[in-house]
């Protein structure tokens, strides 16, 4: 089949195509809300760090990096995954250290 004909043909299973579009829309909306909520959590964590509100700053920052880690997986973006995996490890280590003391 020529490439221009493939663009004119309907999907073999229109229900599957419709479901795929809905799932992509849901994923895009989920990603949008998740990245902005995570950004707000990180900014709040930075503000609390500047105000020396400890350990609440680490909990907010942890929620932000975990959210961005999920966004990295949804986007298949390795740099976002690596950065936020390291951030998650650092914050979890800091929280565990705080709880032990």
Task: Flag whether 8 is in a domain.
Answer: no
- Residue 42 is predicted with a pLDDT of 98
Cβ-Cβ contacts under 8 Å for 48 (sequence gap 6 or more): 54, 56, 57, 60
CB atoms closer than 10 angstroms to residue 45: 22
- Grade residue 5 by pLDDT with cuts at 50, 70 and 90: low
Q: How confident is the model over 18-45, as a mean pLDDT?
A: 87
Q: How confident is the model over 18-37, as a mean pLDDT?
A: 82
Task: Flag whether 2 is in a domain.
Answer: no
Task: Flag whether 35 is in a domain.
Answer: yes
Task: Flag whether 53 is in a domain.
Answer: yes
Domain residue limits at 55: 26-100
The total of structural domains in the chain comes to 1
Task: Flag whether 62 is in a domain.
Answer: yes
User: Does the structure show a pLDDT above 60 at 98?
Assistant: yes
Task: Flag whether 16 is in a domain.
Answer: no
Task: Flag whether 4 is in a domain.
Answer: no
């Amino acid at each position: 089949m020529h490439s221009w004909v493939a663009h004119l043909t309907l999907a073999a299973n229109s229900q599957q195509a419709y479901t795929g579009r809905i799932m992509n829309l849901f994923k895009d909306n989920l990603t949008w809300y998740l990245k902005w909520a995570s950004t707000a959590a990180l900014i709040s964590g930075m503000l609390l760090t500047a105000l020396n509100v400890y350990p609440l700053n680490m909990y907010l920052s942890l929620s932000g990096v975990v959210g961005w880690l999920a966004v990295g997986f949804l986007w298949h973006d390795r740099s976002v995954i690596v950065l936020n995996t390291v951030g998650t490890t650092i914050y979890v280590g800091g929280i565990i250290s705080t709880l032990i003391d």
